A and B are shown apart, each in its own frame.
Chain A
Amino acid sequence: MNAYQISFYVFSFIILLCCIFIITTKNLLYAVFALLPVFLSASGIFILLNADFLAIAQIVIYVGGVVVLMIFGVMLTPPDGKKGFKVQLPSIHWRGIPTYIMMNGVLIYAVYTHFRQSAIDSHASNKSMITLKNLGAMLMTHYVLAFEIAGLLLLVVFIGVAYIGHKK
């Protein structure tokens, strides 16, 4: 148990707590704000898993973009045409919680039986490697078609959002 593993479990614990909070909260804005520690801890876990560029992208896109967009969405969608916004949610049905726990149990059992002996022989080296150079080379050689399609997708979404969102 070294600091590497301890930080993984601390991040996992933060994610677990915020997931439970997102399920049980009655305030929509709190649920959006609880998404922030989930994304930040996930980017910390990405750093621990040798994915440094993806951690940065996670912070820039999700924390800087998506969560702020969601807060704007909460504020721009008044519930019944009136001014102001409503963040109160109805309380959850507690009857659904056993389903949630059973769903967790089944999937964790499946993961535990199939991946515990780790048929994939783990030969990962523990030295931290910079993935940015390799990732860029792969994006520009093997995955250049998917990369261009992703750029085209972003352009289409940009135009579509500008068209849909404006007041007619």
Chain B
Amino acid sequence: MIMIPLHHILILSVLLFTTGVYVVISRKNAIHLLIGIELIFLSASMNFIAFSYHDPSLLQGQVFSLFIIIVAAAESSLVLAMLLQVVRHFRSIDIDKVNDPKE
């Protein structure tokens, strides 16, 4: 029975995670940060599905992955609505300039 080995899926998920972390810590544009966060969510979701794949009698990993997708969608829409207000207020989308709570 030919299958995909578990560690190959985990290595792909590691690549997605490190890309997301690198984008989050190296970029200043807030929308680019959101891309990095989505990649991290995708990596976590892929990990759950990989472990669920090697345990086919239980679908717990897939249920968790479904909740991860729901939370990611909610988070992304909320962050974009907040970014609209931030841009209206600060006239900038650079997150290094959005650090004064008094303004």
Q: Is the CB of A164 within 8 A of B92?
A: no
Q: In the assembled complex, which residues on chain A have CB atoms less than 8 Å from the CB atom of B77?
A: 66, 69, 157, 161
Q: Which of B21-70 contact A (CB under 8 A)?
A: 21-23, 25-32, 34-35, 38-39, 42, 45-46, 49-56, 59-60, 62-63, 65-67, 69-70
Closest to B56 in A: A124
Q: Is the CB of B4 within 8 A of A111?
A: no
| Binary B-proximity of A116-156 (CB < 8 A = 1, otherwise 0) | 10101011111001010011001100010010001001100
Q: In the assembled complex, which residues on chain A have CB atoms less than 8 Å from the CB atom of B56?
A: 50, 123-125, 129
**B side interface size, CB within 8 A:** 71
- The B interface, classified by DSSP as helix, strand, loop or mixed, is helix
| Binary B-proximity of A33-54 (CB < 8 A = 1, otherwise 0) | 0010011001001101111011
Inter-chain CA distance A38–B46, complex, in Å, is: 12
Known contacts: A57-B66, A107-B17, A165-B84. The answer to whether A122 contacts B3 by CB under 8 A is: yes
Residue from the list A12, A80, A96, A157 in contact with B12, Cβ < 8 A: A12
**A side interface size, CB within 8 A:** 82
Q: In the assembled complex, which residues on chain A have CB atoms less than 8 Å from the CB atom of B76?
A: 66, 69-70
Within the complex, the shortest CB–CB distance from B11 to chain A, in Å, comes to 5
Q: Is the CB of B82 within 8 A of A164?
A: yes
Q: In the assembled complex, which residues on chain B have CB atoms less than 8 Å from the CB atom of A31?
A: 32, 35
Q: In the assembled complex, which residues on chain A have CB atoms less than 8 Å from the CB atom of B30?
A: 77
Q: Which residues of A contact B (CB under 8 A)?
A: 2, 4-5, 8, 12, 15-16, 19-20, 22-23, 28, 31-32, 35, 38-39, 42, 45-46, 48-51, 53-54, 57-58, 61-62, 65-66, 69-70, 72-74, 76-81, 89-90, 92-93, 96, 99-100, 103-104, 107-108, 111-112, 115-116, 118, 120, 122-126, 129, 131, 134-135, 138-139, 143, 146, 150, 153-154, 157, 160-161, 164-165, 167
Q: Identify 13 residue pairs between A and B in the complex whose beta-carbon atoms are under 8 Å apart, listed by A's number.
A: A4-B2, A19-B39, A22-B23, A32-B35, A51-B49, A54-B62, A65-B73, A73-B80, A73-B83, A100-B18, A139-B66, A154-B74, A164-B81
